Amino acid sequence: MPTIYDVAKLAEVSPKTVSRVLNGEPAVAEETRARVLAAMKQLDYHPNAIAASLKRQRSNIIGFVVPYGSEFVFQDPNMMEQLRGVHDVVTQAGYDLLLSVPVERKDALSELLRLVRNKNIDGVILYPTAGVERIIKELNQKNFKYVTLERYREDQQTNYVRINAVAGVYQATRYLLEKGHRRIGLINKPASFFNYCCSEDSLINGYASALAEAGMEVDAGLVETGDYTFEGGYQAFMNIREREPGVTAVICASDPMAYGAIRAAEDGGMAVGRDLLVVSGDNLPLTRKLYPMLPALSNPSFEQGRYAGDMLLTLIKEKRDLPGISLDARFVPPKGL
């Protein structure tokens, strides 16, 4: 493989001049630049990014570390949407994306440390999980740039992009109340998953406010917690139905859980859309297609990824922290209303 020296020799200039052409630096005569470019072409020269990284002390690679094990991650449509958002924005900025999903869930933190310490990467997008605080501390100490999806602590002020579903759930609940529903189930997200710390954005808050406005109280029998999966949603709805056979609507914190609830309802002889209204939790494209008539909470996961990527790139460029961002989930009423 030809190096910058080979090009320099052929073009009869110094290596530094070749480097200048490579990096589009201005102080090069047009005629010289042309000669250098011709030499590159003739030799089929391509710069070695690793050598440049070593000297520059940065790799132009962004890391994305996702805990929870690959089996879950690659089948979770929201994570894929976040990944897509991050990918698109960093790719277009000329960075590459190093994707790391610990095969075993328990390796998530050490994997993160490995990536960061070996500093192949210029920054990292990560999910807060239990135990991450120690790592964030190390990142801060080393002045290593990161953005978290959701917050790792309730008092985190900077460098996160989160989604707040409370307003969406409030609207969904109001909508259902207005339609005459009185026994409204809620399949909430787990208290300790992404945002394992932050109780304030539990869906229960929006749900409870809307009920309170209608002079109603939360009935514990109507509330369940799922684990974001189909199975979790299935079981949760089964439990709710057993306790509250009169349930006529259910709000789900995620689409897979909504699918589970739908199957549970149908297995129990209910006709979804007639006996039971299901509010899905993410409004994934697939959900819109499978169940076009159902209302939904719309989770801007893709935008979350985009903002996170953007924020990280700015962090890297400007070397300062940025205030965290909250994106509100929206309520999408059913088609034709």
Partner DNA sequence: GTGAAAGCGCTAACAT
Partner DNA sequence: ATGTTAGCGCTTTCAC
**How far apart are the C-alpha atoms of 162 and 325, rounded to whole Å?**
6
CB 192 within 8 A of CB 130: yes
Residue from 9, 10, 24, 27 binding DNA (CB under 7 A)? 27
Residue whose entry in the numeric block shows the structure tokens 């910058």? 4
Q: Is 292 in the site for DNA (CB under 7 A)?
A: no
Residue 52 interacts with DNA (CB under 7 A): yes or no: yes
* Interaction partner, residue 306 (a second copy, DNA, none; CB < 5-8 Å by kind): none
Q: Which helix (H) or strand (E) holds 251?
A: strand 249-252
Torsion of CA 261, 168, 293, 241, to 10 degrees: 30
- Region binding DNA by CB under 7 A among candidate stretches 49-57, 70-78, 233-241, 307-315: 49-57
Tell whether residue 276 is a contact of a second copy (CB under 8 A): no
Cα distances from 102 to residues 64, 110, 115, in angstroms, run 11, 9, 12
**Residue 205 interaction partner, one of DNA, a second copy, none, beta carbon < 5-8 Å per kind:** none
95 part of the interface to a second copy, by CB under 8 A: no
Closest CB 210 distance from DNA, rounded Å: 56
Q: Which amino acid, residue 236?
A: A
Minimal distance, residue 13 CB to DNA, in Å? 3
Subset of residues 153 to 212 that bind a second copy, contact rule: CB under 8 A: none
Shortest distance in whole angstroms from residue 105 CB to a second copy: 13
What span, in angstroms and rounded, lies between the C-alpha atoms of 96 and 80?
17
CB of 55 to DNA, least distance (A): 4
- Applying CB under 7 A, the span of 21-29, 64-72, 141-149, 185-193 interacting with DNA comes to 21-29
* From the list a second copy, DNA, none, partner contacted by residue 19 (C-beta under 5 to 8 A by kind): DNA
Q: Which is nearer to DNA, 31 or 104 (CB)?
A: 31
Instruction: Give how far Cα 184 sits from Cα of 122, 197, 265, 337, Å.
Output: 47, 26, 14, 20
Residue 98 found at the interface with a second copy (CB under 8 A): yes
Distance of alpha carbon 170 from alpha carbon 103, whole angstroms: 37
* Residue whose entry in the numeric block shows the structure tokens 């799922």: 226
CA-to-CA distance for 207 and 184, rounded, in angstroms?
Answer: 9
Structure tokens at 251: 């709000």
The answer to whether residue 286 forms part of the interface with a second copy (CB under 8 A) is: yes
Cα(33)–Cα(39) distance, integer angstroms: 10
Question: Which residues of the shown chain bind a second copy in the complex (CB under 8 A)?
Answer: 1, 46-51, 53-54, 59, 61, 70-71, 73-75, 77, 80-81, 83-84, 87-88, 91-92, 96-103, 115, 117-120, 230, 256, 259-260, 263, 285-286, 289-290
